[in-house]
A and B are shown apart, each in its own frame.
Chain A
Amino acid sequence: MTDTKHMKVAITRFDPDQDEAPRLQEYEIPVTPGWKVLDAINYIKDECDSSVSHRWSCRMAVCGSCGMMVNGEPKLTCKTSLDQYGDRIVIEPLANFPIVRDLVVELDGFMHKFRSVKPWIIRAKEQAEDAAELNEKGTFSQSPEQLATFKQFSMCINCLLCYAACPVVANEPEFIGPAAIALGHRYDLDSRDEGEATRLEIFRGEGTVFSCSFANECSEVCPKNVDPAAAVNQAKFAAVIDWAKNLVLPRGGN
């Protein structure tokens, strides 16, 4: 027989049609040992109050949908065990994001910033010219060493916990933020990509890598150990080196 206990779960409620501002609503629910925070929210939605709105999907820390503030800390709720908390927890929407409804935040601001770093493989040549560099399977070859250079940064699931933790995001709205920079840097390090100069030009602009004060909060809360702070600060180095190289060799040495 499982050892069920009761827990008070306070959840942010906000209905844009009725509420002036977000408020907390508390529910007392039975909790089974081993439950994750997401299980508690799902229980509340299924058994107590079907009007509670939240995002979730995979339940295995892959989709990045269920990021929320749990007792003031950004957490992936499907990965965060309830056992570590006492008799009461407070679940709020991710900090630093406009709130659409209850625990759901507005992501358009992030998507706009994300696109600005061109997070895709950029090739300088036309597709037909690229054919000469393809292997017999029609794909680009990449050695394990080349993959290891950027693999860590490609593990980002866009859960946006880093944005909720970053003190710069909280204070400088124009800052494009940790995940976007980490993914831009990921493509800069990819041996198949030829868009590094374009992205470094972006990184030298306003509200990008040099806005980061290296608080390291993004890396502390990252559930996938991506270490966005490393990416942002490596990108700082790369942007400075590229700038100095352009200063000394304005036409790339040609």
Chain B
Amino acid sequence: MAGPANPEAMAPPKPGPTRTAPPQQPSTWWSAPRIRNYLLFDATGIVYLLAGLVALRLVWALGKGPEAWQAALASLSNPLYLGFHVLALVSVVFVAVRFFSLFPKAQPKAIGPLKPPPAQVILIGLYAAWIGVTAILCAIIGGVF
């Protein structure tokens, strides 16, 4: 049996002559794989919030001096932190793949005389840019530059 939805959802501008029952939504929404994926996508926001707090903690430690900074860096080798960063990586990959798959169809049909390239070209471009930026960041962090 369905459960209650927002009572104002799709309400007419003026109530009609007949009493209506409030809108419903399926009570099994969580069991549908498609909705589950969307909810997972939404839930990654919590991971990014926590990752932001970790970054803020590092900035705060940096302001406290070299010893605090080194201690903060050392604490990142804690298995809990490592696990969290693996989760953050998975979240980023999941969101990027989902976004990339939807991005081509969101392109305008044309901007003036310019038409968007085929979806496959856009996809290749997105993945190439992602891999390229990741490689450059890895090189910077690895001390290549």
Contact = CB atoms under 8 A, between A and B. Distances in A.
A100 to B, nearest CB: 6
Interface residues of A, number: 52
Contact of A109 (B11, B26, B102): B11
A69 B73 CA distance: 53
Contacts of B2: 12, 22, 69, 72, 92, 95
Interface residues of B, number: 37
Given A109-B13, A170-B5, A170-B6, A230 B105 contact: yes
Nearest to A113: B10
B141 interface: no
Nearest to B2: A92
A167 interface: yes
Given A189-B109, A234-B108, A100 B18 contact: yes
Given A72-B28, A72-B29, A170-B5, A108 B12 contact: yes
A92 B10 contact: no
Nearest to B42: A213
B1 interface: yes
A42 interface: no
Contacts of B67: none
A95 B13 contact: no
B58 to A, nearest CB: 31
Interface string B7-35: 01111111010111111111111011011
A205 B38 CA distance: 25
B108 A227 contact: no
A241 interface: yes
Contact of B10 (A22, A97, A229, A234): A97
B106 interface: yes
Contacts of B27: 72
B46 interface: no
B38 A217 contact: yes
A100 B14 CA distance: 14
B102 A214 contact: yes
A39 B105 CA distance: 36
Contacts of B49: none
Given A92-B2, A106-B10, A233 B24 contact: no
Given A170-B5, A229-B105, A230-B105, A72 B12 contact: no
Interface in A1-49: 12, 14, 16, 19, 21-24
A146 to B, nearest CB: 11
B105 A96 contact: no
A229 B102 contact: yes
A238 interface: yes
Interface in A209-246: 213-217, 220, 227, 229-230, 233-234, 236-238, 241
A70 to B, nearest CB: 10
Contacts of B13: 108-109, 112
A214 B26 CA distance: 20
A236 B106 contact: yes
Contacts of B20: 16, 98-100, 106
Nearest to B111: A241
B107 interface: yes
A234 B102 contact: no
Contact of A98 (B11, B28, B35, B106): B11
B48 to A, nearest CB: 15
A194 interface: no
A149 interface: yes
A232 to B, nearest CB: 9
B23 A214 contact: no
5 contacts: A12-B2, A23-B1, A97-B10, A108-B16, A217-B38
